[in-house]
Structure 1
């Protein structure tokens, strides 16, 4: 059985490395990239089953990436993470 391919998007390379390790440890295939632009290139080039992305990134943030993903693959599950949240935001 083929393992689902999860696209991981984060500009923090240390966090991306840790997240990739844990996703693979759970039995999934992980495709790590460090920008929204790279993520969109991968989405167009290969089969992706889910995206996990950071909210705050330079150039293209997680919300902009989500909007672009919806144009390409409207049903693709996307999980947006942030380390910068608060109750007020």
Structure 2
């Protein structure tokens, strides 16, 4: 079963605060078997992440994922997801 995932890039400390970092959300699909994430398919690496995003998967409670970012001079790719690996399906 494929499930939609969300990579949350910004959580303001105060509710009235806003995230001003320019970004493009990463897009990925999750392969779910027996209620566990076994793999991810990274469709779009996104850009503009300044820290590792939180991964949530529809229908999977407490999905665990390893996420790594890449940083460089190309602003269109700076702060993009380069590693997205399932940790649930060990």
TM more than 0.5: no
Structure in which a larger fraction of residues adopt strand: 2
Return the index of the structure with the highest Cα Rg.
2
- TM, length-normalised to structure 2: 0.27
